[in-house]
Structure 1
Amino acid sequence: MSPRHARISVSTLPGQVAGVRDQVVRQVGAWGVPFDDDTEEIIRLVPSELVTNAVVHAGGEVTVALYHHPGHLVIDVLDDSPTPPIHRTAETWEECGRGLELVDALAVSTGWEPTKSGKSVWALLKVPASAPEPAQRATALRQFFTRQAPTRALRALAVASAS
Structure 2
Amino acid sequence: MKRFFATALSLALAASLLAGCSSNLPKGYSPFGPQASSEGGAQQPQENPAPENPVQVPAGAELSTGLAVINSVGSSKDAGEEDGLAQADSNVVAVLVDADGRIVDCKIDGVQAKIPFSKEGKLLVGTDTMFRTKQELKEDYGMKKASGIGKE
**Does the pair score TM above 0.5?**
no
Which structure dedicates a bigger proportion of its chain to helix? Answer: 1
Higher RCO, 1 vs 2 (CA within 8 Å, ≥6 residues apart): 1
If the length of structure 1 is used for normalisation, what is the TM-score? Answer: 0.23
- TM-score norm. by structure 2 comes to 0.24
